[in-house]
């Protein structure tokens, strides 16, 4: 059965073996609270890499028993990120999570050529699952945070990550919309050209497990009435599960509009590494971090 609300991921995880999460530089309240709540729900085990006195101080402030975590002492954020990655590579974790460490240092640890988590020739991309009150199901979107202007190869990789995430949420054959400013195939717009090529690849079985269509403007991708008015047919039009954005600006504006203006919720993770990597903003809510933990644990092997 397909998951249509973010909170349903928690229930789905309760019937699966627990994954071990490793949090890099887990010195902040939101990370510790979110990991603690996920642990209490029985969906993960957790290792916190960071400054042990600071972690215990945060735990005391929030009445959290620090003994529920495995704490690995490291008070330098760069070294803490590297240590967390090392634990994953040693088979001591299934999911990596960003704590108080800055995004650039977190990503450098993942991308380290000798000791990181990126397989050869892999594409690292950010996948966000958005729950908007005005849409009837979850939207799985990318890339909104890592790749500024994806080329065709990167867009193909992102499309496959969106499909893989949808499958992990029980959507057997997701509907993927390849976004552009228009649904017309305009050679003057690179987004339209790339969308046409990817759509044709899906038609020929080079991209599997989904209905893929594009170029599609946002209105015809998610609104049945707009698709009807513009006489667009097919499985995807008006009912997308996934959206591939042509660039980071369009994706970033979309997901922030969903959360800040439409009161949406989200979970997010980085795909393409050896394990799913939770990458949320240091200012994100505990709830958003919990959804991200659940999303990554659900996607982990």
Report helix, strand or coil for 296.
helix
Per-residue pLDDT of the chain (301 residues; tens, 9 = 90+): 899 999 999 999 988 999 999 999 999 998 999 999 999 999 999 999 999 999 999 999 999 999 999 999 999 999 999 999 999 999 999 999 999 999 899 999 999 999 999 999 899 999 999 999 999 999 999 999 999 999 999 999 999 999 999 999 999 999 999 999 999 999 999 999 999 999 999 999 999 999 999 999 999 999 999 999 999 999 999 999 999 999 999 999 999 999 889 999 999 999 999 999 998 765 677 888 899 999 999 999 8
| Cα Dmax for the chain | 62
Alpha-carbon distances, residue 281 vs 21, 80, 109, 269 (angstroms): 18, 18, 17, 11
**Strands (DSSP E) found in the chain:** 19-24, 44-50, 70-73, 95-98, 125-131, 139-142, 175-179, 211-216, 242-244, 265-271, 277-278
pLDDT at 287: 87
Residue 180 has, within 13 A of its CA and on its CB side, a CA count of: 23
Bridge partners (DSSP) listed for residue 127: 269
Residue 261 and residue 80: Cα distance in Å, rounded? 35
pTM passes above 0.85: yes
- Taken in order of first residue, the domains within the chain and their CATH numbers are 8-121+273-299 (3.40.50.10950), 125-260 (3.40.718.10)
pLDDT at 285: 77
DSSP state, residue 7: T
Q: Which of 184, 248, 171 is nearest to 214 (CA)?
A: 184
**Residue at token pair 């400054």:** 51
Residue 270 and residue 106: Cα distance in Å, rounded? 12
**Residue at token pair 């650039």:** 104
């Amino acid at each position: 059965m397909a998951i249509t609300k973010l909170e349903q991921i928690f229930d789905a995880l309760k019937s699966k073996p627990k994954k071990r999460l490793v949090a890099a530089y887990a010195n902040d309240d939101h990370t510790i609270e979110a990991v603690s709540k996920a642990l209490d729900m029985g969906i993960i085990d957790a290792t916190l890499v960071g400054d042990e006195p600071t972690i215990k101080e945060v735990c005391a402030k929030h009445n959290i028993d620090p003994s529920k975590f495995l704490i690995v002492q490291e008070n330098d954020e760069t070294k803490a990120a590297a240590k967390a990655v090392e634990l994953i590579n040693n088979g001591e974790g299934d999911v990596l999570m960003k704590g108080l460490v800055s995004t650039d240092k977190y990503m450098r640890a993942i991308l380290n050529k000798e000791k990181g988590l990126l397989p050869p020739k892999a594409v690292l991309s950010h996948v966000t699952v958005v729950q908007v009150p005005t849409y009837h199901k979850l939207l799985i979107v990318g890339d909104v945070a890592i790749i500024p202007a994806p080329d065709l190869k990167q867009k193909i990789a992102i499309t496959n990550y969106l499909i893989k995430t949808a499958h992990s949420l029980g959507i057997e054959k997701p509907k993927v919309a390849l976004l552009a400013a228009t649904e017309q195939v305009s050679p003057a717009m690179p987004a339209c050209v790339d969308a046409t090529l990817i759509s044709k690849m899906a038609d020929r079985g080079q991209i599997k497990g989904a209905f893929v269509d594009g170029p599609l403007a946002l209105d015809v991708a998610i609104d049945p009435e707009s698709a009807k008015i513009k006489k667009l047919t097919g499985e995807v039009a008006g009912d997308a599960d996934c959206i591939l954005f042509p660039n980071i600006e369009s994706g970033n504006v979309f997901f922030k509009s969903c959360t800040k203006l439409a009161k949406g919720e989200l979970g997010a993770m980085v795909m393409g590494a050896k394990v799913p990597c939770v990458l949320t903003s240091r200012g994100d809510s505990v709830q958003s971090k919990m959804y991200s933990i659940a999303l990554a644990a659900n996607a982990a092997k």
